[in-house]
Amino acid sequence: MEPSERRIAEGILFTDEYQLTMAQLYYRMGIHEKLAQFDHFFRTYPDYGSHSAGFCINAGLEWLVDWMQTAHFRDEDIDLLRGQQGRTGKPVFEEDFLQWLRKNGSFESITMRAIPEGRVVHPNEPLTIVQGPLAMAQILESALLNQLNFQTLIATRAARIRESARHRPVLEFGLRRAQNDAANSGARATLIGGADFTSNVGISHVLGFTPKGTHAHSMVQAFMALGEGELGAFRAYADVYPDDCMLLVDTINTLESGVPNAITVFEELRRKGHAPVGIRLDSGDLAYLSIQAARMLNDAGFDQTTIVLSGDLDELVIMQIIDQIELEAPRYGLDADELVNRLTFGVGTRLITSQGDSALDGVYKLVAVQEGNEWRPAIKVSDTPAKTPTPGDKRVYRIYDKRGFATADLLTLADEVPEKMDRIVLRHPTKTGILRELSRKEISGIEPLLEDVLHEGQLVRPHPPFEEMRALRKADMERLYPGTKRLLNPHIYHVSLTERLWNLKERLVASALE
């Protein structure tokens, strides 16, 4: 695309056609500036087929807000819309509406509350609440979902991988297999969710990280083609990067060629006073090879070197590798924990595209419309009760049990204050008669999750620093029960409604079906 084309495709027209046809209809009915409230939430955790998540990590907000603060209908955008024709050749959009869009078509009247990036979140609770004139709040839907669905999906996967890796370093290596520019937003999400670094150079610099990486098979191949072989390639690398020497050892044969050649070069480095960094294994039986490579490195006196594992890793593969090392390392005279503690995991495709479940099912639903001074809750009834969104202006609280673990998230009406309730009744969001009660003495804390982000288009406070988002994720993960974090068949975390909210929903469903 040309730069002028990018401005079209990545600006305010980064939306679905029906948002614009609906906006024109609202304009024509005179309700386009009526205040409306939309909730953004997801319905189910990612399900990767053989495993599924029991929590998500919220992400994407800052980039969405950045986009909202610049996107607006420019003359060029209006001209394109003016040229659109319906079935009979008449323009789809009429001039008065286009003039209104040109003048008012920005997000400067949007007010937004959201759960901060980095926090653990769960299905069916509003992660983002948008209030604004109906037409522009509607047009926002597509871009909002596009940005928040994806980054939350990827941050979640990163957190799972970090858990499986027992908090050993995780490097994001997925640029080449990412879904195009999602390499950048995805890398950002992995850094919030659990990756320590990424190999992606540009986004590392933008976010203030050091990009990570050493060399590929092609370097060894080039030296082989020029008659210098793997050893020549390793020597050259050690010469140029004597203090950052990490060698990829599987171009020819890991244990018969790669590791011995690496040790030769490491010995040369040591004689020159440099400490070699380690090796990378990118193919084969990574558990077996890391045990054998560790033995060879130890025998040569390099027991402090790192072993980076890469090649189609995900949380299950990493769990399996560590499990196999725990079982097999002692048979070869190695301490399994020592070996695990020198591992680093380079994770590519399966993280950056969330292979197995490549989309989060986030939605954006109208929950209330202002009529005069009154907010009228809106409902969409579904044959599947779980798909009927909870109506009205709501708040979200997290309830911690006596041990300090998160035990439930509670959705309330805006004017309810759970901190002041003697006992808290947690209603199942869809099933009648399923409820749970908590008395004050079972609760160690109640925490509101939503924060003000935008007030009529203006940032309420600056975006949080990156490290703050990572700290939030870390703290929330520590307060999740291990059963909820489990990689396979996690325990289902409770997201509940207060009695009043539950009653409102019941009443509206009944009246919609009358």
**Which positions from 146 through 185 interact with a copy of itself, judged by CB under 8 A?**
146-147, 149-151, 173, 175-185
The least CB distance from residue 116 to a copy of itself, in Å, is: 19
* Bridge partners (DSSP) listed for residue 157: none
The least CB distance from residue 240 to a copy of itself, in Å, is: 5
The count of C-alpha atoms lying within 13 angstroms of the C-alpha of 229, restricted to the half-sphere facing its C-beta, is: 6
Interface size with a copy of itself, residues (CB under 8 A): 126
Q: Which stretch binds a copy of itself (CB under 8 A): 114-122, 248-256, 473-481, 495-503?
A: 248-256
The least CB distance from residue 120 to a copy of itself, in Å, is: 22
| C-alpha distance from residue 468 to each of 192, 205, 206, 474, 480 (Å) | 9, 18, 17, 10, 19
The least CB distance from residue 130 to a copy of itself, in Å, is: 12
Toward a copy of itself, which CB reaches closer, 86 or 330? 86
3-state secondary structure of 328: helix
Toward a copy of itself, which CB reaches closer, 38 or 397? 38
The least CB distance from residue 197 to a copy of itself, in Å, is: 9
Toward a copy of itself, which CB reaches closer, 234 or 502? 234
Contact between 427 and 455 (Cβ < 8 Å)? no
Toward a copy of itself, which CB reaches closer, 114 or 408? 114
Toward a copy of itself, which CB reaches closer, 276 or 399? 276
* Bridge partners (DSSP) listed for residue 445: 400
Neighbours of 427 (CB within 10 A): 23
Residue reference for tokens 């594992």: 309
25 is an interface residue for a copy of itself by CB under 8 A: yes
Residues 278-317 that bind a copy of itself (CB under 8 A): 283-284
x/- site string to a copy of itself, residues 416 to 455, per CB under 8 A?
A: ----------------------------------------
52 is an interface residue for a copy of itself by CB under 8 A: no
The least CB distance from residue 53 to a copy of itself, in Å, is: 16
| C-alpha distance from residue 104 to each of 42, 68, 77, 147, 249 (Å) | 30, 13, 13, 23, 60
DSSP codes joined into one string, 232-267: HHHHHHHHH-TTS-EEE--SS-IIIIIHHHHHHHHH
Task: Pick the binder of a copy of itself from 41, 73, 107, 237 (CB under 8 A).
Answer: 237
Distance separating alpha carbons of residues 278 and 212, to the nearest angstrom: 14
The least CB distance from residue 366 to a copy of itself, in Å, is: 4
Distance separating alpha carbons of residues 426 and 499, to the nearest angstrom: 7
Contact between 162 and 124 (Cβ < 8 Å)? no
Residue reference for tokens 């109208």: 366
Residues 312-371 that bind a copy of itself (CB under 8 A): 349, 353-362, 364-366, 368-369, 371
Residues 196-225 that bind a copy of itself (CB under 8 A): 199-206, 210-222, 224-225
Distance separating alpha carbons of residues 84 and 367, to the nearest angstrom: 31
492 is an interface residue for a copy of itself by CB under 8 A: no
The count of C-alpha atoms lying within 13 angstroms of the C-alpha of 120, restricted to the half-sphere facing its C-beta, is: 27
Residue 440 corresponds to which tokens in the numbers above? 């004050």
The least CB distance from residue 509 to a copy of itself, in Å, is: 10
The least CB distance from residue 76 to a copy of itself, in Å, is: 9
Task: Pick the binder of a copy of itself from 167, 376, 423, 491 (CB under 8 A).
Answer: 376
Amino acid at 242: P
Residues 61-90 that bind a copy of itself (CB under 8 A): 63, 66, 80, 84-88, 90
Pairing of strands 35-42, 374-377: unpaired
